[in-house]
Amino acid sequence: MPKSKKTTLNAIEKPAAFGPDLDVGAFKRETSPWPPCTISKLPEDIAQRALSVGISAEEKERAGTYFQIDHSAILQAIQESFSEKAEIMTTGEALEKYSWAEEYWWKIVDADTDKFTALAKLKWDQGYFIRVLEGQKITVPLQACLFISKDNFNQNVHNLIIAEPNSEAQIITGCTVHPNVQSGLHVGISEFYGKKNAKLTFTMIHNWAQNFNVRPRTAALLDDDATFVSNYMCMKPVKSLQMYPVAYCRGTNSRVRFNTILHGNQNSYLDVGSKVVLQSKGSRGEIIARAIASDNAQINARGLLIGEHEDSKAHLECRGLLLSDNASIHAIPELVGKVKGTELSHEAAVGKIAEDQIQYLMARGFSETEAESLIIRGFMDVSIFGLPDVLKEDIRRMIDATFGGAL
């Protein structure tokens, strides 16, 4: 048996460093294939859930689309006007089409990290390959949807995203389940490569289910003058979510920013963090997190900055808002300076809604519930995402739908 496969098999029982442990064998794998289909022809209940995570059925609003249900890729298409600028296909097809794709496969995420990476390696269910071609600037977002239709189902995807030199693109990924799904396990491996002077903005929106478990494993590698912006939002109940994406600023003047908006409610357990490793001259990083905990939710908000070059700088900011005496937020910022000259800083704050803010709004005619809703929506400020107006408004509508009334 090859050493790499043996080490992966050995890791299938290895718990993750953070988050609750799971029995990965407790979830179903059997499913029927889904036929190819456009979003507009999907069943209404599936299309509506996709819409709830920012997936648009309007072709003019997206440069390209990837849609996977369970283990089946039902749609992978680029608008004709963008066909010479980007590619979308399954990762399996990309590995068959391009021999060089192996150079990027399982290179910055280790398959033997824990049982979830091992599961994704041993029981791989496709995922998307997106490549933005050299010198191309795509003005309309690309989109991908990872969907689960069966209860207590296990989906393991591996995504590969490459932004070639001097390219620029926005990608929005929505992950969700059928309304009848209450439990399951989604494992998502994502490897991002930003080549010289590339700029990539990636926005991921999760809408799972009350007893669902989610384990993304993400890493990005940035070359000279590359910029990577990662936006993540989870506002609906989930049993457990554990993720700790990392970006390696390997290139000179490379830049990374992680923006996270979390709403932990009901009995959700969220252990979410971001890690930045500054490895080169002029490398810069920023981690911004907003977390709201209500009901009985628990949130661990992690952040780690590692300075490995004397001319490097990064900042971490975490703000938490408690809406229940039974909820908790644990902010865990870490700074590791390995060389003289690196500049790392952090600030963290956790508290409740200030009474004077509520009284101020009530004095101007708002009810107490309306006042709280306004304050919460202001706290969940999507301007930190740096999105184009069309995406920004979509996400604001999602937040309004979640926090428009009493929690």
Mean pLDDT by 10 residues, the chain (407 residues): 71 95 97 94 94 87 96 96 97 98 98 97 98 96 97 98 98 96 98 98 95 98 98 93 98 97 94 98 96 95 97 95 94 97 94 82 81 77 68 70 57
pLDDT reported for residue 58: 86
Residues 380, 310 share a domain: no
Can you name the residues that pair with 233 across neighbouring β-strands? 205, 261
Tell me which H or E stretch contains 377: helix 368-379
Residues 345, 215 share a domain: yes
What does the block give as tokens for 343? Answer: 């500049």
**Residue matched to tokens 């959700």:** 268
Residues 404, 320 share a domain: no
Polymer length of the chain = 407
Residues 384, 312 share a domain: no
pLDDT reported for residue 1: 42
Residues 299, 387 share a domain: no
Residues 375, 306 share a domain: no
Residues 242, 161 share a domain: yes
Residues 153, 211 share a domain: yes
Q: Determine the structural domain holding residue 87 and report its residue range.
A: 3-365
What does the block give as tokens for 210? Answer: 């009350």
- Calculate the CA 368 to chain-centre distance: 33
Hey, which bits of 118-210 come out as E strands?
A: 128-132, 142-148, 153-163, 168-177, 183-194, 199-207
Residues 377, 314 share a domain: no
CB 291 within 8 Å of CB 319? yes
Instruction: State how many domains the chain has.
Output: 2
* Residue whose C-alpha is closest to residue 48's, from 401, 318, 314, 352: 401
pTM of the complete model = 0.94
List of residues 6+ apart from 27 with CB closer than 8 A: 152, 153, 154, 184, 185
CB 173 within 8 Å of CB 143? yes
CB 230 within 8 Å of CB 199? no
* Residue whose C-alpha is closest to residue 350's, from 282, 407, 290: 290
List of residues 6+ apart from 369 with CB closer than 8 A: 405, 406
Residues 311, 293 share a domain: yes
Cα separation, 373 vs 170, in Å, equals 30
What does the block give as tokens for 398? Answer: 């999602």
The alpha carbons of the chain give a radius of gyration, in whole angstroms, of 21
